[in-house]
Copies of this chain bind each other. A is one copy, B any other.
Amino acid sequence: MGTRKQSSTYTRNEKLIINCNMSYAVHVIGGRWKLLLLDKIRKGTSRYSDLKKEFSYISERMLTLQLKSMEQDGLIIRNVFAEVPIRVEYTLTPAATELIPILDLLSTWGSKQRALQGDNS
């Protein structure tokens, strides 16, 4: 019984996901803003309004969708505080925490590769 229903990037041809765990991982982190959000949350910015301020160029709709997708994929936990102005904070799951060092490797590779390829600012 999967919790995941929608939020799937590739709904039609899931062969990709079925036979490749790499692709699954990339699928999970591959949303347009997910890595950026993951990085911010990891570094302590956890509140919805703060993320919204930080990434003013991301539409609220996308912000919400990506966060929701990450929540469904077990990357983040959504904590709701029933205060007077409601407060929502996001924290990383253990799975996401395990992912961080791998993402750092990707980051290193990426910067090296960009240098080689020639950056188009």
Contacts and interface: CB of A to CB of B under 8 A. Distances in A.
Interface string A29-55: 110110110010000000000000000
Interface size class of chain A, counting residues whose CB lies under 8 Å from the partner chain: 35 or more
A88 interface: no
Copies, count = 2
Nearest to A22: B107
A30 B30 contact: yes
A109 B1 contact: no
A10 to B, nearest CB: 7
Q: A21, A30, A99: which has the most chain B beta carbons within 10 Å?
A: A21
Contacts of A86: none
A69 B105 CA distance: 22
